[in-house]
Amino acid sequence: MAKITDSPSKSIQDELDALSKDLNEKVSKKSKNNVLIATWNIRKFGDLTEEWVWKPNMKPKRDLHALRCIVEIIKRFDIIAVQEVIGNLKCLRETMRYLGDDWSFLMTDITKGKAGNKERLAFIFNNKKVKLSGLACEIVIPDEELNKGVIKSDALSRQFARTPYAVSFKVGSKTFVLLTLHVIFGEIEARVPELKAIAEWVKEWAVELKGWGHSLIVMGDFNIERKDDKLFKAFTSTGLSAPPELNEAARSIFNKLAFYDQIAWFQETKKNNTTIDTINLKYKAGGNYDFTAKSMTSLKLPLKELSYRISDHFPLWIEFEL
């Protein structure tokens, strides 16, 4: 059985080198002192075929070649929120094995129930750049707030299908909370209440954190179909806003108009119509990373097949100046 720390064949290594070069050109810091933060829904990030080359009788389709492509992307970022980490942890375990002792992760337990799909939410981060600041929590709406209208009646009448997960980090002198989630998928009308609830809940929390000089950044897969549709309007209803570069970035390898994934924070509009961020970090740049042209290229895989090996989502990223 092959190991992720083994040396791959020359042809696979050449492809990994080409992917690394492309990442150097498209996802790089403007200053080494800055911090790169990303979010990525990695399709069914769980089991792994521990061979370098997948064969038709093997399950799953994700092999070591594919996982090394994923890790090459992950290690570009100082912190990355990962959605769809499922019950089997083989991919995550081997990712951390390859990254080594300079990297750590935090994750939730699996979310039981049909809507939860046995998924976990995780943060992977570089210890040399990032420190934990102490907080790790899941957001649960108290029944009293549902019943008394603190969370509006049209926002949520039950708990989240997959409980949002928040962790506080410190880079240099800056402390910030990253909140990641994966909104329920299905009928659009079923998604709106979760989006409204998270927008209302985090607005209050962001104000509280600002009083401590800390920032709140929301990130993950919100399953928003289109920019400016009713799902997007629910998400932005209390002032959550993404930088312009992300509003133009594709999220899905299949549907360039889909607006599933987001990285956002609250902004304030002044009397002269200018806006200022309410976070203590200075935004520098952001975008997605389209891995389709540089991943497993020799196999000439259709997008559907590539999605099972890498993902059906592109990672989104932002860069902050400290």
Q: Residue 271: CB partners within 8 Å, gap ≥ 6?
A: none
Class of domain 10-321: alpha beta
pLDDT for 272: 62
Question: Mean pLDDT in each 10-residue stretch from start to end of the chain (322 residues)?
Answer: 95 98 94 95 97 95 98 98 95 98 94 65 97 91 53 48 88 95 77 84 89 93 91 92 93 94 84 67 95 96 97 98 86
pLDDT for 273: 60
Report the distance separating Cα 44 and Cα 57, nearest Å: 19
Contact between residue 303 and residue 255 where contact means Cβ atoms under 8 Å apart: no
pLDDT for 201: 85
pLDDT for 253: 97
For every residue of 217-248, DSSP letters joined together read EEEEE----STTSHHHHHHTTTSEE--HHHHT
